[in-house]
Structures are given as structure tokens and as C-alpha cells.
Amino acid sequence: MVSTDTVLVTGAGGFIGSHLVEALVARGFRVRAFVRYNGRGDPGLLRDLPSDMRAQIEIIFGDLRDSHAVHEATRGVDTIFHLGALIAIPYSYVHPRETVETNIIGTLNVLEAARAHGVRRVVHTSTSEVYGTARFVPITEEHPLQGQSPYSASKIGADKLVESFHLSFGVPTVTVRPFNTYGPRQSARAVIPTIITQALTRSVVRLGDLRPTRDLNYVSDTVAGFLAAAERDQAIGQAINLASNDEISIGELAEKIIALVGRQVTIDVDESRLRPETSEVFRLHGDNRLAHELLGWKPLVSLDEGLRRTIDWIAQHIDRYDPLHYQV
């Protein structure tokens, strides 16, 4: 991937997608951003980018489930970063069909378009949720895949489609498997903004189960992994964890955030936030050795530093959040 390339980013208006677009534009790439259509013409979190940077982005509105829209967006593209997906696990309990159609059929459309237009690299976004609760730690890429929610099942299906297009048709793909990414712009459907917004504004932080552990990565580290996956030829055909090689429980994480916020806040379990017992992923602790070997990647931002940056950003944008509402 060279700076004269044209790159397509699906899911460009989302949390990680907007940070990736920002990094690509800063490096001089021609960026085409595929954003799910809405009647407001709202480009999502791309609106947070500086105006001079937004002016350099070609924004295309559409739906991943529309094969024609995806094919048209792919014309003249050298590299595809496929981040577009429905990602909320609780939402997948309520709308499993929409989740499957977007995440599996949408990925199929991206792969068919990449094949038809001879795209040089497809970087596909997986998730640590495909592993389910760890059977062993740290979780390597050889860990069994477990569909413990409709969302994780849809991502397993998407991952396997990517694998099949590489093995069957020679489409040059790389699957990156981020563990739990956090940072500025993330919505309150994720646990860290949920904790921070309540810790900043309320006397009680209400959460679901406090026992599960997560492997956390600051968003700039995750973006660096995507960029390396697009550049390293030895990554083609691989699925690669982007993990910190560490874990922290939700309860410990909440205590750490409250300490950094510096307010007197207690923690309470809200039963409405609990996931079905057999669907909850109780342990995520990833092995990042393959990423280091193939991509030269390792996380650079410590958890404390990343949380400080995220707290500062959310405090400046607290009006975007509703701490009283459980966001599915």
C-alpha cells in the first residue's frame, strides 16, 4: 500500500472506522468512505474530523446489503478496509436477522466486489467475540470459535467467507481480530464510555456482570494494526489477533476509572444489563505474538494513559451521552 493508493473504508462513520479514515488521510491516501445511508446525510463520527480533512474524503452513502452499491463503491479501489457491521451484542439478541444480513451478506458483497475489481488487499475486521469464553489463555488464533451470541455467530460466518474467498478464488485477504478497543468517540453501548459517563455525572455506576474479563486496546493501537495488515505481504491469508496480552475484570476496570475520575462513586449491578448466562463471554485474554511476528505490531498506549485520554475526551463531549439510559 502506497500513498497514491485509493482505499475504501466500510463502516467509515463508526468508532474505529473514523479513526482509521483520519489516519489514512493524514498519510496522504485517497479515501473513499462507505457510510450507511440515512435521511439526514449524517456521516457519523466523520463529522468529528477537521473540516480540511473531511473535504479530502469521498463519502458514499449506501447499505452493505446492496451488492450494486458495494460494487460501485469498489471501482478503482486498491485496498478495502472492511469495518462495516452491526456490532452491538444486545442488539443482536433483539434483531438477529438484521445482524446476520448486514454482517454476512454485507461481507459477501465486499468480497465479490473485491474479486470482480481486482482489489489488491482486503483487510477484514473480525472480533475477539468469535472465540467466546476462553477455553485457554492467552487466546491464540487456533482457539475454537464459539457463537455465543447472534453477533458473534455472524462474525464467525463472515470470517469463514473471507477465508473461503482467499482459498477458493485467491482474493488477497487479511482478517484482523481486534480485542476490546476503546477511546475517544466510542458510543455508550460499550462498557468504558458507560462507566466514564456515569462516573463523571452520577453517584452510582450501574453495570451488568462485574466478573467478566476483557483485553483492552486503545484505538490508535488498533488502527496501527489495520495499517500494518494492509502493508505486510506475509499477513495475506491469515487471521491475526490485535490483543494487549493482558486482561482486567469489568469490576476492576470500573474501580480504576472511578479513581482516575476522582469522584466519590459506588458501583451497583443492574439486572437489566445482564446478558444470558450462557451467552456472556466471561474471559477474554488474547495472545498477540502472531501480530508481532507478521505485522511488527504491539500496543504502545498503556491502559491508564488510554483511559485518561478517553476520560478527557468524554468530559469535553458529555452532552453527547445520556448516562441515565442503557444503550443497547
Hey, which residues are catalytic here?
151
In DSSP terms, 214 is beta-bridged to: 248
Q: Whose CA is closest to 127, among 47, 217, 205, 65? A: 217
Q: Which amino acid is at 271?
A: E
Q: Look at residue 58 and give its three-state secondary structure.
A: strand
d(C-alpha 37, C-alpha 88), whole Å: 19
Q: Which amino acid is at 184?
A: P
Q: E-assigned strands of 133-256? A: 173-178, 180-182, 204-207, 213-214, 216-218, 239-242, 248-249
Classify residue 41 as left (phi > 0), alpha (psi -120 to 50) or beta.
left
Burial class of residue 66 (count of CB atoms within 10 Å of its CB; 0-12, 13-18, 19+): middle
Q: Look up residue 281 and give its three cell numbers.
A: 463471554
Output the furthest CA–CA distance in the chain (Å, rounded).
58
DSSP state of 237: T
Q: Look at residue 252 and give its three-state secondary structure.
A: helix
Q: Look up residue 328 and give its three cell numbers.
A: 443497547
Rg of the chain over Cα atoms, rounded to whole angstroms, equals 19
